[in-house]
Amino acid sequence: MGEIKYQLLAQPFLVSADIGASCLITKDLNYFEGYPMLIFGSDRFYGGYRGIYRNATDDDMKLDFKYYLHGIFIGGKAVAGLYLRPEIHYYFKDLKKGYIILGLGLQFK
């Protein structure tokens, strides 16, 4: 898995674009995933949009499936030094039926 982030704006608030990709090869299926993201906010509070695109196929290309999820998230930074970054994500195909995912990131400076 890898990600690239680029800061689009620094004033009046922070805006960044992020793209991530991963690949997983198993005995039965080969997966490719892409993660476009748009993040906005301040150094202390942020939110944004994240998409998840997955494509999977078997070795002889007989089985092929694709799907895309939309996601919105909010997060913040707490504690000085070793920063804790709690986040709440909501991923969905249909806005009424989705998944809530709680996350906790660590940032070292």
- The answer to whether residue 53 is domain-embedded is yes
Cβ-contact 78, 104 below 8 angstroms: no
**Average pLDDT, whole number, for the chain?**
88
Residue 109: pLDDT above 70?
no
Token reading at 78: 């707490």
CA distance 103 to 54: 21
- Say yes or no to pLDDT of 23 above 70: yes
Which DSSP string corresponds to 66-105?
EEEEEEEEEEE-BSSSSEEEEEEEEEEEETTEEEEEEEEE
pLDDT tens, position by position, 66-76 = 889 999 999 99
Domain that holds residue 51: 2-77
Examine residue 17 and state whether it is found in any structural domain, yes or no. yes
Q: Is residue 9 part of a domain?
A: yes
Q: How confident is the model at residue 65 (pLDDT cuts 50, 70, 90)?
A: confident
Assign 19 to helix, strand or coil. Answer: strand
In a domain, 103, yes or no: no
- Rounded to two decimals, what is the model's pTM? 0.75
- Domain count across the chain: 1
- Is residue 54 situated within a structural domain? yes
> Is the residue at 108 inside a domain?
no
